[in-house]
Amino acid sequence: MAGPRWLYLHGFASGPGSKKGTTLARHYADRGVSLELLDVRKPSLEHLRLSAIVEHVRERIGAARDRAILFGSSLGGLASCRVAEADPRVCALVLLAPAFGLAAGWRARLGEADWAAWRARGWLETLDYTTGRSARVDFGFVEEVARIDADDQGHPDVRVPTLIVHGIRDDTVAVERSRAFADGKRHVRLVEVDDGHELGASLDRIAREADAFLAGALGSAAS
């Protein structure tokens, strides 16, 4: 049986060329492991849908005999959890500031007036980090996420070994959300770092923690 595929899911308004993704890809390439950087802007940034991301990742895992290790940053972390819920081929997760409770958190940051304006107008202008230009994300994205989150209070039912790295100074997705997700789960390891949402100062720590967490799979892949 082939070893697991290693896949990286970037965050909202980011892309496969993100700093975290490319840094980790180089790190694992030096160890003989290919970490595939997926484009999860599905079907597009403007019409993003979590369900479309999940389906795309499941297709990328490949044939039924394959297994997958998923790395996910922010929205990519949330999507990784939803893939793991739906697909038994996922054998481990590495989540970087995963966007648990995404819709509720976004609503709180915007405030009720701006949230209502987004719903009424149909789109929210945001910066597309891959192009440096503005993009208009439709309200259907958070509407779908809110429906999915409501089913489980924003805590996906993940049962595979999971590593989370989350910054204690994250003002986009509060670390408390990862603490609540990890609470009481022996298969979840939460590592808190002195960093913000981008985790830019913690890339070396992320690589070390992931190496230790995935030691068995890393050794098999390299051999």
Q: How many domains does the chain have?
A: 1
**Sign of the Cα pseudo-torsion (176, 47, 127, 123, in order):** negative
pLDDT tens, N- to C-terminus, the chain (223 residues): 467 999 999 999 999 999 999 999 999 999 999 999 999 999 999 999 999 999 999 999 986 667 999 999 999 999 999 999 999 999 999 999 999 999 999 999 999 999 999 999 999 999 999 999 999 999 999 999 999 988 777 689 999 999 999 999 999 999 999 999 999 999 999 999 999 999 999 999 999 999 999 998 887 665 4
pLDDT at residue number 152: 76
Residue 138 lies in a domain: no
Residue 212 lies in a domain: yes
Residue 125 lies in a domain: no
Residue 202 lies in a domain: yes
Alpha-helical segments (H) within 96-200: 102-110, 112-121, 140-152, 175-182
Residue 115 lies in a domain: no
Lookup: tokens for 146: 């809110």
CB atoms within 10 A of CB 37: 20
| Locus of tokens 């915007």 | 110
**Sign of the Cα pseudo-torsion (38, 43, 48, 52, in order):** negative
Torsion of CA 10, 16, 21, 22, to 10 degrees: -170
CB 181 within 8 A of CB 195: no
pLDDT at residue number 155: 85
Q: Which amino acid is at 195?
A: D
pTM (2 decimals)?
A: 0.95
Residue 198 lies in a domain: yes
Residue 207 lies in a domain: yes
CATH for 82: 3.40.50.1820
- The C-alpha atoms of residue 18 and residue 74 are separated, in whole angstroms, by 12
pLDDT at residue number 222: 53
What range defines the domain where residue 205 resides?
Answer: 5-100+153-222
Residue 157 lies in a domain: yes
